[in-house]
Amino acid sequence: MQAALFYAISAALLVSAGLVVTSRNIFHAALWLAVALFAVAALYVMLGAYFLAAVQVLIYIGAVVVLAIFVINLTRSVVGAPVTLSRRWVIPAALVSALTACLIAVALLRSGVPPGAVASTAPGAAPGAAPNAAGQDWTSALGRHLLGDFVIPFELVSVLLLAALIAAIAIVGKDREDEK
C-alpha cells in the first residue's frame, strides 16, 4: 500500500514539475509549482519528517508561491500580455538536469548512509522522528541550529523577503502613477 502511494505521489510530483517548466502561462506555472511543492510535503510525511512537511507547506506553498502569484497578479504587463516562452533551451536544460541527477545519485551512494538509516527512530524519540548520528531527533537539532547558530541568517532572509514584497508594491505603485 505504501509503495503504491509513494509511486502515485512521485508521479504527481514529476508531472506537476514538468508542467511548471513547460507551461506557457506564468500564472499556471506558479499553480503547478504549488502542486509540486505539496507533493514534496506529502513525501516528507511518508518519510516521517513531519516538521519538514509543515515547513514545506507553510514557507514554500504558503509564502513563496502565494507571493509569486501576488506579484504576477499585481504586474499588469504580465497579466495583460501573454508571456511567450522560448523552447530553444529544452535540450541543454534536459542534459544539465540529467547530469545533476547523476551527481546527486553518486553523492548519495558515496555518502555511506545505509538506506534504512533515515527511517529508523531513536529510543524515546517521537514516532517518525529520525535520529542523527548522536541519537537526537532531527527536528530538535534543526531547531537548535535555526534559533542558535543560524538565527541571524534566518532573520536576514525574512527581512530580505519583506524587502522584496515592499519593492514589488512600490514598483506597481509607480507603474500605476505613470498610467495616470
Over the stretch 81-129, which tens digit does the pLDDT of each residue have? 555 666 787 888 889 999 999 998 888 788 776 666 554 444 444 444 5
A 10 A CB-CB count for 56 gives 21
Rounded-to-integer distance, Cα 108 and Cα 94, Å: 21
Is residue 177 situated within a structural domain? yes
Rounded-to-integer distance, Cα 121 and Cα 131, Å: 6
Rounded-to-integer distance, Cα 48 and Cα 118, Å: 9
Domain boundary among 47, 64, 94: 94
Mean pLDDT within 33-57: 90
88 plus 136 within the same structural domain:
no
Mean pLDDT within 29-42: 93
Give residue for cell 499556471: 28
Question: Looking at the predicted structure, is the pLDDT value of residue 154 above 60?
Answer: yes
- Name the grid cell of 132: 542523527
Closest to 65 measured CA to CA, from 23, 26, 93: 26
Domain count, the chain: 2
Mean pLDDT within 64-71: 80
84 plus 136 within the same structural domain:
no
Question: Looking at the predicted structure, is the pLDDT value of residue 134 above 60?
Answer: no
Rounded-to-integer distance, Cα 122 and Cα 131, Å: 5
Is residue 100 situated within a structural domain? no
Q: Which amino acid is at 167?
A: A
Q: Which amino acid is at 94?
A: A
Closest to 20 measured CA to CA, from 39, 41, 46: 39
Is residue 19 situated within a structural domain? yes
A 10 A CB-CB count for 68 gives 17
Q: Is the pTM of this model over 0.85?
A: no
Q: Which domain holds residue 89?
A: 1-94
